[in-house]
Chain A
Amino acid sequence: MNTLFDKIWDSHVVKSIEDGPQQLYIDRLYCHEVTTPQAFEGLRARGIRCFRPDKIFCMPDHNTPTHDQDKPIADPVSKAQVDTLERNAAEFGLTHYGMMSPDNGIIHVVGPEKGLSLPGMTIVCGDSHTSTHGAMGAVAFGIGTSEVEMVLASQCILQQKPKSMSIRIEGKLGPGVTAKDLALFLMMRISTSGATGYFVEYRGEAVRSLSMEGRLTLCNLSIEMGARGGFIAPDETTFEYIKGREFAPKGADWDAAVEYWKTLRSGDDAVFDREILFDASEVAPMVTYGTNPGMGIPVDGTVPEDAAPHSLAYMGFAPGEKMLGRKVDYVFLGACTNGRIEDFRAFASIVKGRRKAEGVVAWLVPGSWAVRRQIEEEGLDRILEASGFEIRQPGCSACLAMNDDKVPAGKYCVSTGNRNFEGRQGPGARTILASPLTAAAAAVTGVITDPRTML
């Protein structure tokens, strides 16, 4: 009651169906190429148009290659899917940022950086990591393709209102400990289903102290705790980030918007369905040892004795084993989780003056062209190249390996992505989730390394 989640959700309810779901109005729909073709096909089959095309933005990201984007995509099936999105956007009158457009990138990186995702909004996309946009102070969540079709057709979806959860993290994160580590820590504690059925509000000093990039990372991983979404009430950090962005309100509209956004906070008397409290000083750099993101441990820890045998067999780990010093074959920096400028700064801060380890293949994939341009403006590209790293072109890339960036079977990849499921980075690939700092430490040493020893 009287939580920020209630305020935003309830103000978007068009109608409540008795003993049924609510009809929720959606302010922003994002469309990528993988989960929308069948939704557009549905509109065609019903002979209807998009209800509010100006609220919908499309861009391909999952299939896009991370090199030679100026050439046609080699895989004909990927190409067909990317082309289908472009055709659908044109047919239904929607804004489309194509593969070589300077505006293209991963949808969850581009939305916030263009000022398309704003406080107080309801935001959906056929992608579970839509929770990312919660960092802007929005109610943002992933939906299925049928639900995408609902929004295309009516700018609404039918949903049961989730319960509300407060996750409060007090205190300060230590040096070398990032938002990614905080999220992996939360999953270790509450498991990958600990927040299922809930919408999470992240609160407390450690959350307030995060940059927008850090907040986007934390909210991104809400779904990995099972939560429908997770958000952070907007504050000066949020307003500062939004100001001046392409779709941000301007002039008098800006002042009015900020006035309104300042009211977007849970009441002092707010009652959550569940509240959890953590101490940030307990969080260390984290790595995963298993096949779901909740199977994580501090980087200097050992594989739990009671870990699921099936997962350990897949990963080639044994109970009681240390993670430090394990050989690494691949390193992936990027994804909607860690493909932002701050992540590249963090990675560069570790590799500066060092060399990429022999035998390690590193994929550094910016989350958008805007991120890549900023990398170049800040001269990070020169630091990374001097250390033997190459910066690729933006896309989802090796996070889920729908393009060519696949980790071979049996190989170990330290990934800044969001999932270590079996086969996620390619059939048989073994994924170890970690922060950009931990990934950088592995990239230059060739083994799992505590980044705190290299700061």
Chain B
Amino acid sequence: MKQKFDIIESTCVPLPVENVDTDQIIPARFLKATGRDEKFFGENLFRDWRFHADGTPEPSFVLNDPRYSGCILVAGRNFGSGSSREHAAWAIAGYGFRVVISSFFADIHKNNELNNFVLPVVVSEGFLSELFASISADPKMKVRVDVPSQRVTNLATGRSERFELNSYKKYCLMNALDDIDWLLEQKEAIEDFEKKSRR
């Protein structure tokens, strides 16, 4: 959902698992929807880790642990690998996350998050492991994600890092604009390109 980004301060939900693939984020059987109801996808986020086959919650999974809440998901290295399904980003957004912090994201999923106004924040391995330790020590600790200045800060330890975000995407996020809005203004340039390259 299009929404403006500025400064976000929130508690975090920790998922210290590496190589979380998009089949785990949202299993294939939930991809049959023809609509974009984020609530539906959010309810099934991490479905098979979060619920047993009979629908009862798995108490040890972090989304079922009442100590953790907030709009920032903190995940292990190589988050979002595998399938290109944008449903994974819809599920993350639908659950209520606005930011995902990890030390490494898979390419397609990273774009999908950005296109759905979920901000992937890439931090160093050192920042990430310290952040997991901070959350573990105090689930109520907060992280500040400052989009205008591109800084992420662990407010428990004060450790702060700059994160990458190109100025085009930053402008889009801060003004709730998407790529299609931009592309639709390029009709002439596209037609010129087609003529020039005989496509």
Contacts A19-B166, A146-B116, A146-B178; is A77 near B82 (CB within 8 Å)? no
Answer whether residue A343 sits at the interface, using C-beta atoms and an 8 A cutoff.
no
Interface string of B83-100 (1 = CB under 8 A from A): 111100100000000000
Looking at the assembled complex, report how far the CB atom of A142 sits from the nearest CB atom of chain B, in whole angstroms: 4
For A226-257 the 0/1 string (1 means CB < 8 A from B) is 10100000000000000000000000000000
Q: Which of A20, A23, A142 contacts B166 (CB 8 A)?
A: A20
Contact (Cβ within 8 A) A154 B48: no
List chain B residues, Cβ under 8 A from A38.
34-36, 86
Given known A23-B186, A150-B180, contact A144–B82 (CB-CB < 8 A): no
Interface: A25 (CB within 8 A): yes
Query: A127 at interface (Cβ–Cβ under 8 A)?
Result: yes
> Roughly how many angstroms separate A158 CA and B27 CA in the complex, as a whole number?
28
Given known contacts A17-B168, A146-B116, is B180 in contact with A46 (CB within 8 Å)? Answer: yes
Give 1 or 0 for each of A12-29: 1 = CB within 8 Å of chain B CB.
Answer: 001101111101010100
B190 — which chain A residues lie within 8 A by C-beta? Answer: 14, 25, 51, 154-156
B184 on the interface (CB 8 Å rule)? yes
Tell me how many residues of B have a C-beta within 8 Å of chain A: 51
Chain A nearest CB from B122 CB (Å) reads: 11
* Stretch of B56-64, B102-110, B137-145, B146-154 at the chain-chain interface: B102-110
- On whether the beta carbons of B184 and A226 are closer than 8 Å, the reply is no
B108 touches A142 (CB 8 A): yes
Of residues 20 through 78 on chain B, the ones whose CB sits less than 8 Å from some CB of chain A are: 21, 23-24, 27-29, 31-36, 48, 53, 77-78
A146 to B109, CA, bound (A): 12
Contact of B167 among A19, A62, A77, A154 (CB under 8 A): A19
Q: How far is the CB of B81 from chain A (nearest CB, A)?
A: 6
Are A146 and B179 in touch, CB under 8 angstroms?
Answer: yes
Residues 129-171 of A at the B interface (beta carbon under 8 Å): 130, 142-147, 149-150, 153-160, 162
Contact A154 to B78, CB < 8 A, known contacts A41-B36, A126-B84: no
A320-353: CB near B (< 8 Å → 1, else 0) gives: 0000000000000000000000000000000000
Quick one: which of A411-430 are within 8 Å of B by CB? Answer: 419, 421-424, 427-428
A23 to B168, CA, bound (A): 12
Which B residues are in CB contact (< 8 Å) with A126?
A: 84, 86
Taking CB atoms, residues of chain A closer than 8 Å to B167 are 18-20
Of A27, A228, A409, most buried by chain B (CB within 10 Å of CB) is A228
Which residue in B31, B78, B82, B182 is a CB contact (below 8 Å) of A128? B82
A425-438 CB mask vs B (1 if < 8 Å, else 0) is: 00110000000000
| Additional pairs, 17, CB under 8 Å, beyond known A128-B82, A154-B190, A192-B81 | A34-B32, A35-B85, A38-B86, A81-B33, A84-B34, A143-B108, A146-B86, A156-B186, A158-B179, A196-B104, A292-B81, A409-B53, A419-B82, A422-B23, A423-B23, A423-B48, A427-B27
Top 3 A-B pairs, shortest CB-CB distance: A20-B168, A146-B115, A144-B86
Can you list 24 A-B pairs with a CB-CB distance of less than 8 A?
A: A14-B186, A18-B167, A20-B167, A21-B168, A23-B183, A25-B197, A35-B85, A41-B34, A41-B35, A62-B31, A81-B33, A81-B34, A84-B34, A126-B84, A154-B180, A155-B190, A156-B186, A157-B179, A158-B182, A196-B107, A419-B21, A422-B23, A424-B28, A427-B53
Which of B's residues lie within 8 Å of A, judged by CB?
Answer: 17, 19, 21, 23-24, 27-29, 31-36, 48, 53, 77-78, 81-86, 89, 104, 106-108, 111-112, 115-116, 166-169, 178-180, 182-184, 186-187, 189-190, 193-194, 197, 199
